[in-house]
Amino acid sequence: MTLSTNIKIAIFMSALAAILIMPGTAFWLLESIVIGLFEVLELALDEIVEHLFHTSRHTTQVIVFYIMWGLFIGAAYWLYRYSKRLYSNVKAEFPDWWFHTREKASLNWQELPFSKKIKMISGCSLGAAFVAVIVL
């Protein structure tokens, strides 16, 4: 693994931990970013249409509405096509990946000495109990 891969994994794990620890704040932040990007896109389209066609405010808003509607339909269609391809790839690859991962975990577990197995089980149990105490 290179340093950049480690950084990507660290960022992903940090984001996942933030989502799991404070889901309300994480989704509020995501919602704020999406709404902000939408507003910036709408404002930019308003300015471009108004400058290019010299239209009134109402006409500009109608034109921008239909442009954004077209963009949304195009993005939804692209997502639909991509999700079908992704689903077929996952459906074909998942059984092999699951079997390989399960076998690897089983071999790693069998190779561990008994003391390490006890440490791992107690550490996971203590961690789960700690999370349960914090959440409840």
**Cα dihedral: 103, 104, 105, 110 (round 10):** 90
Report if residue 2 sits inside a domain.
Answer: no
pLDDT digits (tens, 9 = 90+) for 59-68: 999 999 999 9
Domain of residue 63 covers 24-135
Report if residue 105 sits inside a domain.
Answer: yes
User: What domain count does the chain have?
Assistant: 1
pLDDT digits (tens, 9 = 90+) for 32-45: 999 999 999 999 99
Report if residue 11 sits inside a domain.
Answer: no
Which residues touch 28 (CB under 8 Å, ≥6 apart)? Answer: none
Report if residue 33 sits inside a domain.
Answer: yes
Task: Output DSSP code: residue 54.
Answer: -
Helix, strand, coil tally for the chain in percent (to 5)? 95, 0, 5
What's the pTM value of the predicted model, to 2 decimals? 0.56
Report if residue 62 sits inside a domain.
Answer: yes
For residue 97, the one-letter residue type is: W
pLDDT confidence tier of residue 9, bands split at 50, 70 and 90: confident
pLDDT tops 60 at residue 1: no
Residue 129: helix, strand or coil by DSSP?
helix
Report if residue 9 sits inside a domain.
Answer: no
Q: List the one residue out of 23, 65, 72, 8 whose CA is nearest residue 42.
A: 65
